[in-house]
Structure 1
């Protein structure tokens, strides 16, 4: 499997704190069946001042340590990018790295507030030749009132990435409901770990993959962790790796729980 979203680089954001933790995260990932992992630290002006050259150097250093320790995990460059002014210029200049220098990059919306003009911003990025992969929409606090927005973003050409742990309840029942809905209704291109540590947010895909297999079948679930991530790393055109057509929405088993809270999807 390929994991396109991780915070395994030590000491540069809210992910791994030390080299030892990074090495242990890598061991966990390999034991879970992950052979390639994108190093995607946050780039958020004023908080995490990472950039393309710095991330590339940190990846090179960590890869050397993995090789020295005999851990068979391949690392590639990326970033968890926030939607801020100057993003497009940063992508063009290389200050903001794409995934393995492809047209694809991780785009993280604000967790608490819908970004203004989100659809226009994503359209401009796509029109400029990039394919944004929207990270963990199931965990955003505003997803209830904006679910159709994400469907329109997919129609524009954006991809969606659901967190494997959300499907297993790691982030609570609300995120589990929305994760199941994104996957079950056919609105998920990529499943990733968004790993931050060796604790609760560890780099495992297999348990979330098992949920996805129950929701959409083995073939489509496999595309989320093998075929589409490989297409990203090879910079293949997104048109050849689209989502399956759905005749009807598949209800989630979280619907009754949310209904008891007085909210109906």
Structure 2
């Protein structure tokens, strides 16, 4: 399985504070069955001024530490970009998720739908593929789009797949429909399904999953304590919901 969003790199943002925490998080992820982790520290001007070079260096260093401690995870560099004017002024110098064209972005709570659409359009024009992080946490994306749910939720955790032309049914959420039609992708937080952000976010996550919004899942883990509390519960909830939506075809299978 792949974790597409994780604050695993020590000391770069509000995630892991030191190597010991990163090692503890790595062990939890490996024990849960993950094989690849995208390390995505925040990139927010004035708060977390991370650079692609710095993130790649930190990822390489943590990978070496994992090898030395026998943690069987492959790490990939990435960033979680705050969608603002500063980011848009640096579109030629972004750190995508690994060697893909995927760029993980987070909308501001107060962002307008028009700004989000225009900002993501600019990324698409530069041949980046925006991946909107945890839409279930934002009122901007409330309720579920209606892209049909493909059976087998693990497809969103395994390596990149080619985009398919899924059947389209009537939509009830114009912004997510517009963004999906533009070519934007969406990443759900596993912890959202475990109640980490409260019942309202959990309900939105369930609706988005039922509507087929999510292309990828990530832990969005910031520390070992939170990861240990939510990982198993979140994975189990996603598996149960997907099995229900697909009438049994989405049951988690390990191995």
TM-score range, shorter chain: 0.7 to 0.9
> 1:89, CA displacement in angstroms?
5.1
Given that 1:193 and 1:203 are in contact with CA atoms closer than 8 Å, whether structure 2 keeps it comes out as no
- Provide the residue aligned with 2:102 in structure 1: 104
Instruction: Give the counterpart of 1:148 among 174, 179, 201.
Output: 174
- Provide the residue aligned with 1:65 in structure 2: 65
- Provide the residue aligned with 2:208 in structure 1: 182
Matched ranges for 1:53-132 at <5 A: 53-88=53-88, 90-93=90-93, 96-114=94-112, 117-132=115-130
> Which is worse superposed, 101-110 or 139-148?
139-148
- Provide the residue aligned with 1:29 in structure 2: 29
> 1:170, CA displacement in angstroms?
1.5
Aligned length: 220
Instruction: Give the counterpart of 1:158 among 184, 202, 205.
Output: 184
Given that 2:137 and 2:201 are in contact with CA atoms closer than 8 Å, whether structure 1 keeps it comes out as yes
> 1:111, CA displacement in angstroms?
3.0
> 1:88, CA displacement in angstroms?
4.6
TM-score normalised over the length of structure 2:
0.79
SS of the residue corresponding to residue 134 of structure 1 reads: strand
SS of the residue corresponding to residue 117 of structure 1 reads: helix
Given that 2:113 and 2:140 are in contact with CA atoms closer than 8 Å, whether structure 1 keeps it comes out as no
Deviations 1:230-260 (A, max 9, x none): xxxxxxxxxxxxxxxxxxxxxxxxxxxxxxx
- Provide the residue aligned with 2:169 in structure 1: none
TM-score normalised over the length of structure 1:
0.76
CA separation of 1:213/1:201 partners in 2, compared to 1, >3 Å: closer, same or farther? closer
CA separation of 1:60/1:183 partners in 2, compared to 1, >3 Å: closer, same or farther? same
SS of the residue corresponding to residue 66 of structure 2 reads: helix
The CA distance in 2 between the partners of 1:71 and 1:9, in whole Å, is 15
The CA distance in 2 between the partners of 1:39 and 1:98, in whole Å, is 11
> 1:120, CA displacement in angstroms?
1.7
SS of the residue corresponding to residue 105 of structure 2 reads: strand
- Provide the residue aligned with 2:239 in structure 1: 213
* Match status 1:17 vs 2:11: no
Q: Show structure 1 runs of 5+ residues with no match.
A: 223-265
SS of the residue corresponding to residue 85 of structure 2 reads: coil
CA separation of 1:107/1:221 partners in 2, compared to 1, >3 Å: closer, same or farther? farther
> Which is worse superposed, 72-81 or 197-206?
197-206
The CA distance in 2 between the partners of 1:114 and 1:4, in whole Å, is 26
Given that 1:213 and 1:221 are in contact with CA atoms closer than 8 Å, whether structure 2 keeps it comes out as yes
Given that 1:194 and 1:203 are in contact with CA atoms closer than 8 Å, whether structure 2 keeps it comes out as no
